Amino acid sequence: MTFSLPRAAPRALRSFAKASARPQVPLRRPAQPLFRRYLATPSSEQPRLRLGSVAPNFQAKTTNGDIDFHQFIGDSWTILFSHPADFTPVCTTELGAFAKLKDEFEKRNVKMIGLSANDLGSHGKWIEDINEISKTNLQFPIIADADRKVAFLYDMIDQQDLDNIDEKGIAFTIRSVFVIDPSKKIRLTMMYPASTGRNTAEVLRVIDSLQTGDKKGVTTPIDWMPGDDVIVPPSVSTPDAKKKFGEVREIKPYLRYTTI
């Protein structure tokens, strides 16, 4: 049995061979604004901000001078929290509340650093308003992130803003919280929409939980507060837990409480 190509096939094959032999001219893409190009960075280059991963380092200008973020952290715990913009109502109440808790955070060896998507001149005038309204003295630094480089590095961007980016080609930042330990590891993240203010008491509570777990080798149950009973991790046997903690209350073999 013979097999033959249609009469037109040889001409098509010759045309394809000629086209393949021509030098290929790369297509030019239209220039994009800087921020759009930055957002188009391949996802493989975006740091993966998983719990336990090292917080990305950066250099930035702040209301307390230029910083290298990892040097700023030093041997302390650190809270990095972002704000959509200066002179906005929810952000103003939040920064005033955090400023009032300065002594509480210092007791726990925690540094605070804020971020808002405006320049330093705007930050300085805004801090005056915050201190006046909240009757406080805000001392922790606020990062100037008008170009959103840090906001993008930490993925503090709302998808809706990316989809409907304004005429300046810049998206708003959301209300993110990153709790970072002295080894520069991310230990906890919280993300809020721009319309919802955070809870300072909850930020303190999770700091207490993380530090208690690190020091005592325990976990904390729902709504735990300092002084409440804690949970013995499943990795610790009951005999070993009794040697370490004393009394252990076994609700189930996998749920055991103790007092520290």
14 included as an active-site residue:
no
Q: Strands, DSSP E only, in the chain? A: 59-62, 65-68, 77-83, 110-116, 142-144, 175-180, 186-192, 230-231, 248-252, 255-258
State the Cα torsion 11-12-14-15 to the nearest 10°: 120
The answer to whether 181 and 76 are in contact (CB under 8 A) is: no
The answer to whether 248 and 232 are in contact (CB under 8 A) is: yes
Tell me how far apart the alpha carbons of residues 28 and 25 are, in angstroms, rounded to a whole number. 9
DSSP, res 66? E
Three-state helix/strand/coil letters over 78-135: EEEEEECCCCCHHHHHHHHHHHHCHHHHHHCCEEEEEEECCCHHHHHHHHHHHHHHHC
Active-site option among 55, 73, 80, 91: 91
Hey, which residues are catalytic here? 91
